[in-house]
């Protein structure tokens, strides 16, 4: 499991065995079952998660109790309610397992210690944050300028395995369309 983390980090920065030993001591392993929550709305958000195996959905529930899927997260991805994590406020979103899931997680104090004491990890987290920001901007612009059919085709092209792992009702929710509309889009 730690090797998957090392491979992931070393896509951006190379670490010596000693450096990785320092990094790995900041993470703990957790296992969750399908339908189990890592975070629930109004929880304290103690961890950010690196997904070793499994699949998660990050959900925002609005005032009318309608659920909006913010993201799916699978192997080799990071996920949390980052606003609550970094501001140490209560969660406004829930993070739920769609499959049995294994993660490596770390606290905000661990994150700060890694950034303060490892220039390589500071660079790694900066690059991950930058690329996450860029992806969010692209998604927002694409959502604003594309129709449901285009959004469906883009999701299918970008993450084809998601369609084998996620019920169509959740894909419809993520795309902001009804289940019936999704059926029409996929035919």
Task: Going residue by residue through the chain, which has 187 residues, state the pLDDT in tens, using 9 for 90 and above.
Answer: 789 999 999 999 999 999 999 999 999 999 999 999 999 999 999 999 999 999 999 999 999 998 999 999 999 999 999 999 999 999 999 999 999 999 999 999 999 999 999 999 999 999 999 999 999 999 899 889 999 889 999 999 999 999 999 998 999 989 988 888 888 888 7
Alpha-carbon torsion angle 9, 159, 157, 182, nearest 10: -160
The predicted pLDDT at position 185 comes to 83
- What the block records as the tokens of 176 is 């902001």
In angstroms, the Cα distances linking 107 to 61, 64, 114, 141, 173 are 25, 32, 11, 32, 30
In angstroms, the Cα distances linking 127 to 9, 50, 95, 163 are 11, 15, 24, 28
Q: Find tokens 């990050």 and name the residue.
A: 58
The predicted pLDDT at position 143 comes to 87
72 pairs with which residues across the strands? 57
Predicted TM-score of the model (pTM)? 0.93
Cβ contacts of 60 within 8 Å, gap of 6 or more = 67, 68, 70, 92, 93
- As a whole number of angstroms, the longest Cα–Cα distance in the chain is 54
How far apart CA 173 and CA 165 sit, in angstroms, is 15
Cβ 81 vs Cβ 144: under 8 Å:
no
H or E element that contains 153: helix 148-158
In angstroms, the Cα distances linking 17 to 11, 102, 110, 116 are 16, 24, 19, 19
């Amino acid at each position: 499991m730690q090797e998957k983390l090392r491979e992931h980090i070393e896509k951006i920065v190379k670490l010596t065995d000693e450096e990785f030993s320092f990094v790995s001591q900041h993470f703990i392993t957790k296992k969750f079952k399908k339908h189990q929550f890592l975070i629930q709305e109004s929880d304290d958000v103690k961890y950010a998660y690196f997904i070793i195996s499994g699949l998660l959905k990050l959900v925002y529930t609005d005032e009318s109790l309608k659920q909006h899927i913010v993201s799916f997260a699978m192997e080799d991805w990071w996920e949390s309610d980052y606003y609550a994590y970094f501001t140490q406020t209560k969660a406004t979103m829930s993070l739920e397992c769609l499959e049995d899931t294994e993660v490596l997680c770390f606290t905000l104090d661990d994150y700060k210690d890694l950034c303060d004491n490892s220039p390589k990890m500071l660079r790694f987290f900066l690059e991950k944050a930058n690329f996450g920001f860029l992806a969010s901007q692209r998604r927002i612009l694409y959502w604003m300028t594309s129709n449901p059919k285009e959004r469906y085709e883009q999701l299918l092209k970008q993450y084809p395995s998601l369609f084998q792992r996620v019920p169509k009702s959740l894909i419809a929710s993520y795309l902001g369309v009804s289940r019936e509309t999704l059926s029409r889009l996929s035919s």
